[in-house]
Amino acid sequence: MSKILIFGGTTEGRMLSEWLCEKNTDHELCIATEYGEQVLHDHPVAHVNMGRMDAVQIEAFMKENGTEVVADATHPYAKVVTDNIRQAAEAAGVRYLRLDRDKTAESMAEVNKTESGKNADPVIAEKHYFEDTAACVKALANTSGNILLTTGSKELSAYMAEPAVRDRVIGRVLPGKESIEICENCGLPGKRIIAMQGPFSLEMNMAFIHMYDIKIMVTKLSGRTGGFFEKEEAAAKTGIPLYIIGRPQNSEGMSFAEICGELYGYLNEPKRKISLIGCGMGHLESLTGEAREALEKADLVFGAKRLLADLKVEKESWPYYLAKDIIPVLKEKNGDAAVLFSGDSGFYSGAAKMHQAIKEAIDAGMPAELRIYPGISSVSNLAALFGVTWEDARIFSIHGKGTYDDWGHKLLWTIKTNKKTFLLLSGVKDLNTIGRMLKDNGLENCRILAGYQMSYPEQELLTVTADGCLERTEEGLYALFIINENASAPDVSCGLPDDAFIRAKVPMTKEEVREASISKLHLKADSVVYDIGSGTGSIAIEIASLSPDITVYAIERKPEAVELIRQNASKFGLSNIKVIEGYAPEALNDLPEPSHAFIGGSGGNMNEIIKVLFEKNPGIRVCANAVSLETLEELKALETQFELEDYSLVQLAATRTGKVGSYTMLKAENPVWICTFNGKAADN
């Protein structure tokens, strides 16, 4: 529902709608034609309605939309429409405002003075006013010379019906088929038709006057948007009279500025502004211009004590940076507010959570406009200080991210596979840990560009290796670029040889079967995988090596196999494998929801395992291997016992070659059945 209703279709109507859009005020805009809709600009507060309405329909529309004021900006000659709007407004108890084109535009004399910058007397045309077309035609019958008719094709018949006028008419009409047909039907020959789309400049009007030897120009009192003043000046400069079909002198309309003034009382209430500001390095000088302006205009300021002190905030402020502390104050206090965050609002910042929390408060009824202002991030600052680029760097943070066990494998994988890694640290202990990690994993020659206490008086820029990280003792804030010139692209497929694993006497899924089975799982870079009956952990190792964001839960009941899985995970440096000792399905109960599962051994509990997997994730993707006929029968029965999708059962028989003396002999591996399927997700 909108309090303001505009009837437009004219330039002034569009301008009025655009003004209300600038004021972020909802309004209804009614226009008659599709063309009128096409020239409007889309805006969420402008609700456009196309089509003609009579007085009864307009009244109903006003009541339905809760209209309080209507601005009539229809064409000056659309008298019937204006009468309908006025009548409907009176019946609905709606305030009526009429926009007057004449009052909107300056007189031609004032335009001349303004454009010339002087107060010289302007050239004034000889003007004759007529109440309607009939009066104008009657006057023209008593004149001589060619007539330039600029009133369009609709009234052409009235001029062509007068014998003393018809042979002198030069008609300027729109270049449409309808206009040309009207000219032809009225008997206006082609040599006296000017079919062109306006608006027309002073020079063009004068050119037509000279070309057709015009002695009189006829126009409507159409204001600036109708090109009236260019016609008036052309008539003045060529010394011909201007015949004007005008409206009654006693118009009660208002100028555009007056209409805007009357609508001010109906504008949406201005909302308080809440600004989430990234403070960059934490000094006033490092704020963006927009951020500084928002901070200066804020009545209330929130942020960590360090930021409030560094920015020398002297306004009403609170040392808060959590939404649960800030929102109650916002509800209690009035005025614009600024919430300060170190660095950039979109770079490991609390601004995202704050934005969501405040947005929810706004949706719940707290009136405010919310905006984020970015700052200079530590990555862009460090890159600038060292004169390096960072668009080719992988971004990583261990600041407040737990211990090495939580992030070590992923960070190591990132450094090994990327030439340049940017890293945010919590303090000097993290720096020492990074040095130890690099040395223990053959990366001691990596070059490290370190920024210490950036933007503070004690700032240092360090270029060190792993040993330099181990030797550092100064506590403070560190950010690093780790440059690994020997980085290699990560593998995108599995395929480790069997002898790469520590085996002992525990059975292991063979290389060819591993490759086929893992391929059929259709894994994602962030999958959560159960490896049930993991054995030596070869499947878990292959999967975990594909991406540091994959998590594999290796479930195994035999203690000796559990130890082998741990040894193999350690050998390959994979901390994204979680070893679970126990029997399936009971061992699955407390694990996170899986996206995929591989079943290498079920211990005769295939049905129970599948049931638990579907309870955890109805749409899970499963791959199961069978080497015995009994397990094969279990896999075949699954298709009738459960609702499955994409069920497939394939036998794989691999034969390897080997040297026996001088001969190359074939050695067949045991055939394996590979069964794959999806559960039927709940929304299917």
The reported pLDDT for the residue numbered 584 is 94
User: Residue ranges of the domains in the chain?
Assistant: 4-100, 108-245, 272-376, 379-483, 498-679
Whether omega before 122 lies within 30 degrees of 0, making that bond cis, reads no
The reported pLDDT for the residue numbered 267 is 80
- Residue range 272-376 in CATH 3.50.50.60: no
Query: Which residues, at least 6 apart from 197, have a Cβ–Cβ distance to it below 8 Å?
Result: 174, 175
Give yes or no for residue 448 having a pLDDT over 90.
yes
The CATH superfamily assigned to 379-483 is: Tetrapyrrole methylase, C-terminal domain (3.30.950.10)
Of the ranges 260-269, 501-510, 638-647, the best mean pLDDT one = 638-647
Q: Mean pLDDT, to the nearest integer, of 454-474? A: 93
The reported pLDDT for the residue numbered 683 is 53
CA distance 134 to 270: 51
The reported pLDDT for the residue numbered 254 is 83
Asked which of 8-22, 327-341, 383-397 is least confident by mean pLDDT, the reply is 8-22
The reported pLDDT for the residue numbered 676 is 96
The reported pLDDT for the residue numbered 124 is 65
Q: Do 272-376 and 379-483 agree at the fold level?
A: no
CA distance 311 to 284: 5
**232-250 pLDDT, tens per residue?**
889 999 999 999 887 544 4
The reported pLDDT for the residue numbered 1 is 61
CA distance 602 to 577: 20
> Which of the four pLDDT bands, split at 50, 70 and 90, describes residue 43?
confident
The reported pLDDT for the residue numbered 105 is 45
Taking the mean position of all CA atoms in its chain, how far away is CA 635? 47
- Identify the bridge partners of residue 24 per DSSP, sorted by sequence position: none
- Residue range 498-679 in CATH 3.30.70.580: no
Which residue type is seen at 403? Answer: T
State the DSSP code for 496: -
More confident residue, 132 or 527: 527
Which residue type is seen at 204? Answer: M
> Which of the four pLDDT bands, split at 50, 70 and 90, describes residue 76?
confident
State the DSSP code for 39: T
CA distance 536 to 471: 39
Phi–psi pair at 677, nearest 5 degrees: -170, 165
Give yes or no for residue 114 having a pLDDT over 50.
no
Residue with tokens 């060190």: 464
Note if the pTM is more than 0.75: no
Give yes or no for residue 107 having a pLDDT over 80.
no
Return the CATH number of 4-100, one of 3.40.50.720, 3.40.50.300, 3.40.630.30, 3.40.630.10.
Answer: 3.40.50.720
CA distance 679 to 646: 9
Q: Measured between alpha carbons, how far is residue 500 from residues 226, 530, 542, 548, 560 in Å?
A: 85, 22, 11, 20, 18
CATH class, range 108-245 = alpha beta
The answer to whether the beta carbons of residues 384 and 287 sit under 8 Å apart is no
**363-375 pLDDT, tens per residue?**
888 888 899 999 9
Of the ranges 105-114, 264-273, 556-565, the best mean pLDDT one = 556-565
**173-185 pLDDT, tens per residue?**
988 888 899 999 9
**330-363 pLDDT, tens per residue?**
998 888 999 999 899 999 999 999 999 999 998 8
**298-315 pLDDT, tens per residue?**
999 999 998 898 888 888
Of the ranges 111-115, 504-508, 563-567, the best mean pLDDT one = 563-567
State the DSSP code for 393: S
> Which of the four pLDDT bands, split at 50, 70 and 90, describes residue 61?
very high
Q: If we measure between CA atoms, which residue out of 74, 131, 80, 132 comes closest to residue 101? A: 74
Q: Mean pLDDT, to the nearest integer, of 619-638? A: 93
Q: What does the block give as tokens for 74? A: 């229809």
Give yes or no for residue 11 having a pLDDT over 80.
no
Give yes or no for residue 46 having a pLDDT over 90.
no
The reported pLDDT for the residue numbered 71 is 93
Q: If we measure between CA atoms, which residue out of 603, 604, 505 comes closest to residue 563? A: 505
Radius of gyration of the chain (CA): 41
Phi–psi pair at 577, nearest 5 degrees: -105, 125
Burial class (CB in 10 A: 0-12, 13-18, 19+), 607: middle
146: helix, strand or coil: strand
Whether omega before 671 lies within 30 degrees of 0, making that bond cis, reads no
Mean pLDDT score across all residues of the chain: 88
Q: What does the block give as tokens for 247? A: 């409206």
Give yes or no for residue 109 having a pLDDT over 50.
no
**539-562 pLDDT, tens per residue?**
999 999 999 999 999 999 999 999
CA distance 359 to 353: 10
**120-167 pLDDT, tens per residue?**
444 567 888 888 899 999 999 999 999 999 988 888 999 999 999 999
